[in-house]
Amino acid sequence: MGLEIREDETREETVEFSSGTVVVNAQMQDGDALANFQASIYYYCTGDHQQPVAFVPAGEPAVLAERRYDVRASFVRSHDRPDLWRRDLVVKAGQVLQETIGFPQDATHHRRPQRLKC
């Protein structure tokens, strides 16, 4: 189905969106934001975690069909790559949804040195 535009003709159309936009931000529990592929966000159909339907770096928008999703956030800088899940996220047509996921501080394996008492 297409729309033809003609000179000197006015036409009114109703557009129905069948997708929504989700932005998942990732941060450390102390509030430090993770971006630029420090954390990756994977979207799966709810209950089916074999193949993601979308993949974006944290903080980037994903345009998804209207349905329910399980969302996995993967912390890239960590050796054991702890994954955090947000299950059953509902995406509605035309909606812009913002979520924030917080990784525990020990996920980095880069702990600050502690001072020894002598």
Domains in the chain, number: 1
Share of the chain above pLDDT 70, in %: 79
Judge whether residue 109 has pLDDT over 60: no
DSSP structural state of residue 111: P
Query: Is 91 part of any domain?
Result: yes
Q: Please state, in angstroms and rounded to a whole number, the distance separating the CA atoms of residues 97 and 90.
A: 9
pLDDT digits (tens, 9 = 90+) for 14-39: 766 689 999 999 998 888 888 777 89
Three-state DSSP state, 24? strand
DSSP structural state of residue 31: S
Residue type, 101: I
Q: What CATH number has the domain bearing residue 65?
A: 2.60.40.10
What's the domain range around 72?
19-105
Q: State how far Cα 2 lies from the chain centre.
A: 32
Model pTM? 0.74
CB contact burial 10-34 (16+ within 10 A = b; e otherwise): eeeeeeeeebbebbbbbbbeeeeeb
